[in-house]
A and B are shown apart, each in its own frame.
Chain A
Amino acid sequence: MAASEPGPRMQQASISEFFEKNKHFLGFDSLTRSIITAVKEAVDNSLDACEEARIPPVINIEIRRVQGRKDELILTAQDNGPGIPYASIDKAFGRLLFGSRFHTISQTRGQQGIGITGVVLYSQLTTGKHTHIISKVAEEGVAVHVDIGIDTKRNRALKSNHRRDVWLDEHGIDIPHGVMIEARMKARYQKGSKSVHQYLRMTSIVNPHAAISFRMLDEDGRVIEQASWPAVTEKLPAPVKEIQPHPHGVEIGTLQRMLRDSEQRRLSAFLQKNFSRVPSARAQQICEIAEISDKASPKRLKGEQVRALQAAFKRVKLMAPPTDCLSPIEDLLIKKGLAKAIDSKFVTTITRDPCVANGNPFQVEVGLLSGTDMPSDSPIEVLRFANRVPLMYQQGGCLLTKVIESVDWRRYGLEHPGGRGIPKGPVAILIHLASTHVQFTSEAKEAVSENEVVFDELRRALLEVGRSLKSHKRKSTQRAKAREKFELINDILPEIAAKASQILGREVPELTPVITKIMKAVFIEDEFTWDADEKRTQVNLVLFNYTARPRSYTLLAKWPERDGVEIVDDSHEGRREVYGLRKWKLDTLESGESVTLRFAITGLEKDEWTETEVFFRGAGDIIGATRLDEKMLDQMRREEEAGLLQITEPEFEEAIEAFTGVAERAQEADEVGAPEELDVEDEDDEEAVRQTTLEDGWGGGE
């Protein structure tokens, strides 16, 4: 028998009593929550089974009110997974808390509570009904149809009405493989932020490879709510690798169980064989510090010795655990997942590199989306996930929420009264924490507990998406302003000239000098298009000189440089300046002229890259681009030489903030000042920018 199953002691107490006592963390503590938990257990099972069998999951959920019965629902959940062989059905649906004696850990969805068995048990306890199962495996000709109940005295599955029969879909076609469960339970369906709909929506966001559909039927069969989220990628998540626990992350209870189950007779061997990153020298050292003989029998250690052993782990320097065991969603797929659930005009995502906190590998991913029809005066939508499982309850007490609250979102253009609490605006923030061991505040597994390392890592990720949001907002305002100006000179001004001339019967005046007087600036417009035939992103950067004199510039643009991604067909033969930054030296641009810089990027997916940041060197500002800060460039060069391609130092992040802040203020001052002071020469404005920049200690310029 597996060690973590309810042992002989458990069998005497009634299993229903155990369920009753623990229903708050099993997720069945209220009528409205029970249906969500039931759906969740079914969906988790289906996703795990499909991923293991490498089948793109298709999951249908249907809930129906029972006629004439208050607060009674029938849940039907169907998947296209591999199916469960008849012999394993009772194990899968009818047994509580079965674990593994092999103490490996991995990033799994993890059963919340007792898994699908909880649904079977809850149905039985509240309605007396057994759960109907249909299962079909590809190898067998017909499906298994069976009702499952729980023998609460003996903790066993009760199978009844077993028959073998065909299983057809609504078109009368054989279903090749999959599982369908139908459970009837006391539960209440509600809409809103804590609902089945929201749970499935969130699940679909972090499982872009899954197709999920949902229907809610009234007691007379009328559809009262329905939704479907298609799969947006064929790429299944990488199979998670199992690793042994790292001594720095092991908890006392786990350690005790591991010692009890040990197959090694000596403690030093036990340490080397069961933990990652413990070579023999370190095992010896641990035993010495714990003052236990390295030959001691692991099974016979006393309570205080176990504690001494755990304390000793902390005092030994060990290599960090391997992090390749994690399976992040990856930023592009988060982008696609968010896009299918929420209409958006801007999405930015980031997957940070894996890290280790207290011996546990973890990885954070953050997505920020600015929606098209989300309310602008209510708090932003927070979407929390741990190992791809949506967290819907206890938002306030969760580390993931606290990190969002720790950022002053006013700096990134969101409304955030007093810089405290959740910011407001038409924005959704997604946070995904992937780890072999997510620490929750309680058994209910709804809120992630405090951890400094995870907190800092998440905060960095949030600041990064915050910066993208800010730069996007700045770009959209600039773009809107530029668009207005272009409309002015291309449409309105020629009409004024034509109409005035027509009224007076005079010649139409030459407008080029008028245009430079009105615009008195250099503009840059960027244009991104997806070339479906060539599978590449086409980028055009158009520079207009609407000043009275010639201008010459060097332009620099950020691009997603990495292996397999290349710039091709570059019209102006740019050169690499530093990692991720390309440079083009342009010929002098005469007054009133424009030049188009064209290039394409291969190796990217559609919508993967739709916005860049353009910098420039040269005299006079460019609306739509930022003057290159040479110090920032030097820093980037040093980072590249040191092999640190990511800019993570907080001081440096603040420095970038300070710098872009100055540039913006200068630019705003320039834009505001321009229409009033018609006679001011361009040079004065430049001088002003340079001075402001110098005062703040950031020397801009050539």
Chain B
Amino acid sequence: MTERREHSREAVIEALHGVAAEMHDRMSKGESPTMSLPVRTKKNIQFDKRLGVYKYGRKRTVRDASSLGSARQLLRALHIIEFIEEMIESGKSSTLREMYYISEGWGNGKFGSQNESNNLAEDLEIVTRCLREDFRLRPEEDGSRIIGNMTFNELNRRGEWMRINARDDVGDSGYGVPYNVEAEKIELVEHDVDFIMAIETGGMFDRLVENGFDEDFRAGLIHLKGQPARSTRRIIKRMNEEWNLPVVVFLDGDPWSFRIYASIAYGAIKTAHISEYLATPSADYLGITADDIGAYDLPSDDLSPKDIEALKAELTDPRFSDGRWQQWI
């Protein structure tokens, strides 16, 4: 079972200081300050046989101060480090969005968009081998919903453990998964289902709930809401490992579905540094495939130019290098 690495406050601060020290050391030697990190594109992910998921490879990139853009990135990284350190010391936490707004006051170190600040926070995770939970940074992602006869213990905002059954104690919208699904926040108590079904679209999720699919077929249903958030992937992984439940991913069968499946089963490109915590290698693909459309003469829409672009990108994605995928795509 993959246990989350615990990092002490001191260890996190030390790791962050390492980033600042790399810059300082270079400048003291009369060199341009740098920050080195793995290349975060599909060109640099490779299959880790031991873990059964895709991880970043050895390609590294060095960000230095030779251009205005990358120099700004270095300055921003330092501002984030300082911000995180302050939060750790004062025992506070903050959302990524809050950090983005606070950065407005960082002068030359402010961000152009929240996407930039999210990315840089991820860069720091990778470089320091910490998780954003260590940094006291929360996402504002929509948590997903779970329905089925499964019982969770959640530590609520009053500091009390709450026992919730995702069939009996919830309405039709299900149990809302919080952003932190680690053991200190959620315990998986017990279940009486045979498998977990992860569903791409809300319409299909609601249809299955309405039809009582979870009870009739003893299933745990989880709504992915398109490309699933970290917490969604993490809780699927935990249910798979801790309860030893098989996972099927029910998808639409369009080019984007392939990516959703890959991020659950193989690991996502953006979070390849923590694939072993997020990916569920045994998850199965359920739904219409490209073959089915031909074989059963199903009605289909023409691909849009964006779809075609997505498919082209997938052809060169190492996660789809297997013969069956190549053929489907």
What residues make up the interface of A, taking CB atoms closer than 8 Å to B? 484-485, 487-488, 491-493, 495-497, 499-504, 506, 509-511, 513-514, 517-518, 674-675, 678
Contacts of A501 in B (CB 8 A): 24
Q: Is the CB of A511 within 8 A of B21?
A: no
Q: Is the CB of B66 within 8 A of A518?
A: yes
Asked if B278 lies at the interface with its beta carbon under 8 angstroms from chain A, I say no
Q: CB within 8 Å of A: which of B61-94?
A: 64-68, 71-72, 74-75, 78-79, 81-82, 85
Q: Of B28, B33, B68, which contacts A496 at CB under 8 A?
A: B33
Q: Roughly how many angstroms separate A497 CA and B71 CA in the complex, as a whole number?
A: 11
Contacts of A514 in B (CB 8 A): 27, 30-33, 65
Asked if B132 lies at the interface with its beta carbon under 8 angstroms from chain A, I say no
Asked if B109 lies at the interface with its beta carbon under 8 angstroms from chain A, I say yes
Q: Is the CB of B85 within 8 A of A503?
A: yes
Q: Is the CB of B68 within 8 A of A504?
A: no
Q: Of A495, A509, A675, which contacts B28 at CB under 8 A?
A: A509
User: Smallest Cβ distance from B144 to chain A, in angstroms?
Assistant: 37
Q: Roughly how many angstroms separate A514 CA and B64 CA in the complex, as a whole number?
A: 11
Q: Roughly how many angstroms separate A484 CA and B67 CA in the complex, as a whole number?
A: 8
Q: Is the CB of A500 within 8 A of B65?
A: no
User: Smallest Cβ distance from A401 to chain B, in angstroms?
Assistant: 38
User: Smallest Cβ distance from A679 to chain B, in angstroms?
Assistant: 11
Q: A504-B20, A514-B27 are in contact. Are A492 and B32 (CB under 8 A)?
A: no
Q: A491-B108, A509-B28 are in contact. Are A504 and B17 (CB under 8 A)?
A: yes
Q: Roughly how many angstroms separate A682 CA and B74 CA in the complex, as a whole number?
A: 26
Q: Is the CB of B27 within 8 A of A511?
A: yes
User: Smallest Cβ distance from A492 to chain B, in angstroms?
Assistant: 4
Contacts of A675 in B (CB 8 A): 66-67
Q: Is the CB of A499 within 8 A of B27?
A: no
Q: Is the CB of A499 within 8 A of B82?
A: yes
Q: Is the CB of A495 within 8 A of B81?
A: no
Interchain residue pairs with CB less than 8 A apart (8): A488-B67, A496-B78, A504-B21, A506-B24, A514-B30, A518-B32, A674-B66, A678-B32
User: Smallest Cβ distance from B83 to chain A, in angstroms?
Assistant: 11
User: Smallest Cβ distance from A101 to chain B, in angstroms?
Assistant: 74
Q: Roughly how many angstroms separate A543 CA and B31 CA in the complex, as a whole number?
A: 23
Q: A492-B75, A514-B32 are in contact. Are A509 and B68 (CB under 8 A)?
A: no
Q: Of A488, A503, A506, which contacts B81 at CB under 8 A?
A: A503
Contacts of A517 in B (CB 8 A): 30-32
Q: CB within 8 Å of A: which of B15-37?
A: 17, 20-21, 23-24, 27-28, 30-33
Q: Is the CB of B24 within 8 A of A493?
A: no
Contacts of B82 in A (CB 8 A): 499, 502-503
Q: Is the CB of B17 within 8 A of A495?
A: no
User: Smallest Cβ distance from B26 to chain A, in angstroms?
Assistant: 8
Question: Other than the known A496-B27, A496-B65, A500-B23, what 17 A-B pairs have Cβ atoms closer than 8 Å?
Answer: A484-B67, A492-B65, A492-B72, A495-B109, A496-B33, A496-B78, A499-B75, A499-B109, A500-B21, A501-B24, A503-B81, A503-B85, A504-B17, A511-B27, A517-B32, A518-B65, A518-B66
Q: A503-B82, A504-B20 are in contact. Are A493 and B31 (CB under 8 A)?
A: no
Q: A503-B17, A503-B78, A514-B32 are in contact. Are A496 and B67 (CB under 8 A)?
A: no
Q: A492-B68, A504-B24 are in contact. Are A499 and B31 (CB under 8 A)?
A: no
Contacts of A510 in B (CB 8 A): 30
Contacts of B65 in A (CB 8 A): 488, 492-493, 496, 514, 518
Q: Roughly how many angstroms separate A674 CA and B64 CA in the complex, as a whole number?
A: 13
What residues make up the interface of B, taking CB atoms closer than 8 Å to A? 17, 20-21, 23-24, 27-28, 30-33, 64-68, 71-72, 74-75, 78-79, 81-82, 85, 107-109
User: Smallest Cβ distance from B95 to chain A, in angstroms?
Assistant: 23
Contacts of B66 in A (CB 8 A): 518, 674-675, 678
Q: Roughly how many angstroms separate A500 CA and B78 CA in the complex, as a whole number?
A: 7
Q: Is the CB of A492 within 8 A of B71?
A: yes
User: Smallest Cβ distance from B31 to chain A, in angstroms?
Assistant: 6
Contacts of B71 in A (CB 8 A): 488, 492-493, 496
Residue of B nearest to A487 (CB): B68
User: Smallest Cβ distance from B20 to chain A, in angstroms?
Assistant: 5
Contacts of A674 in B (CB 8 A): 66
Q: Roughly how many angstroms separate A502 CA and B33 CA in the complex, as a whole number?
A: 15
Q: Is the CB of A513 within 8 A of B78?
A: no
Q: Is the CB of B68 within 8 A of A485?
A: yes
User: Smallest Cβ distance from A387 to chain B, in angstroms?
Assistant: 52
Q: A504-B24, A675-B66 are in contact. Are A499 and B79 (CB under 8 A)?
A: yes
Q: Which 8 A-B pairs have the closest CB atoms?
A: A513-B30, A499-B78, A675-B66, A509-B27, A484-B68, A500-B24, A509-B28, A492-B71
Q: Is the CB of B17 within 8 A of A496?
A: no
Q: Roughly how many angstroms separate A501 CA and B28 CA in the complex, as a whole number?
A: 10
Contacts of B67 in A (CB 8 A): 484, 488, 675
Residue of A nearest to B13 (CB): A503
From B28, B33, B82, B85, name the one whose CB has the most chain A CB atoms within 10 angstroms.
B28
Q: Roughly how many angstroms separate A518 CA and B79 CA in the complex, as a whole number?
A: 22
Q: Roughly how many angstroms separate A504 CA and B81 CA in the complex, as a whole number?
A: 11
Q: Roughly how many angstroms separate A506 CA and B75 CA in the complex, as a whole number?
A: 17
From A484, A488, A675, name the one whose CB has the most chain B CB atoms within 10 angstroms.
A488
Contacts of A485 in B (CB 8 A): 68
Q: Roughly how many angstroms separate A511 CA and B71 CA in the complex, as a whole number?
A: 14
User: Smallest Cβ distance from A503 to chain B, in angstroms?
Assistant: 5
User: Smallest Cβ distance from A480 to chain B, in angstroms?
Assistant: 11
Q: A503-B78, A506-B24, A514-B31 are in contact. Are A488 and B85 (CB under 8 A)?
A: no
Q: Roughly how many angstroms separate A587 CA and B78 CA in the complex, as a whole number?
A: 41
Q: A485-B68, A500-B20, A503-B85 are in contact. Are A492 and B27 (CB under 8 A)?
A: no
Q: Is the CB of B32 within 8 A of A500?
A: no
Contacts of A504 in B (CB 8 A): 17, 20-21, 24
Q: Is the CB of B24 within 8 A of A509?
A: yes
Contacts of B75 in A (CB 8 A): 492, 495-496, 499
User: Smallest Cβ distance from A475 to chain B, in angstroms?
Assistant: 19
Q: Is the CB of B23 within 8 A of A496?
A: yes
User: Smallest Cβ distance from B84 to chain A, in angstroms?
Assistant: 11
Contacts of B108 in A (CB 8 A): 491-492, 495
User: Smallest Cβ distance from A680 to chain B, in angstroms?
Assistant: 12
Residue of A nearest to B24 (CB): A500
Contacts of A492 in B (CB 8 A): 65, 68, 71-72, 75, 108
User: Smallest Cβ distance from B25 to chain A, in angstroms?
Assistant: 9
Q: Roughly how many angstroms separate A518 CA and B82 CA in the complex, as a whole number?
A: 25
User: Smallest Cβ distance from B29 to chain A, in angstroms?
Assistant: 8
Q: Roughly how many angstroms separate A637 CA and B107 CA in the complex, as a whole number?
A: 53
Contacts of A678 in B (CB 8 A): 32, 64, 66
Contacts of B109 in A (CB 8 A): 495, 499
Contacts of A493 in B (CB 8 A): 33, 65, 71
User: Smallest Cβ distance from B50 to chain A, in angstroms?
Assistant: 35
Contacts of B23 in A (CB 8 A): 496, 500
User: Smallest Cβ distance from A546 to chain B, in angstroms?
Assistant: 13
User: Smallest Cβ distance from B88 to chain A, in angstroms?
Assistant: 13
From A484, A491, A492, A497, name the one whose CB has the most chain B CB atoms within 10 angstroms.
A492
Contacts of B64 in A (CB 8 A): 678
Residue of A nearest to B85 (CB): A503
User: Smallest Cβ distance from B278 to chain A, in angstroms?
Assistant: 30
Contacts of B72 in A (CB 8 A): 492
Residue of A nearest to B66 (CB): A675
Residue of B nearest to A503 (CB): B20
User: Smallest Cβ distance from A193 to chain B, in angstroms?
Assistant: 35
Q: A492-B71, A509-B27, A518-B66 are in contact. Are A500 and B33 (CB under 8 A)?
A: yes
User: Smallest Cβ distance from B232 to chain A, in angstroms?
Assistant: 35
From B64, B66, B107, B109, name the one whose CB has the most chain A CB atoms within 10 angstroms.
B66
Q: Roughly how many angstroms separate A496 CA and B81 CA in the complex, as a whole number?
A: 12
Q: Roughly how many angstroms separate A506 CA and B66 CA in the complex, as a whole number?
A: 23
Q: Roughly how many angstroms separate A492 CA and B65 CA in the complex, as a whole number?
A: 9
Contacts of A511 in B (CB 8 A): 27
Contacts of A513 in B (CB 8 A): 30
User: Smallest Cβ distance from B113 to chain A, in angstroms?
Assistant: 19
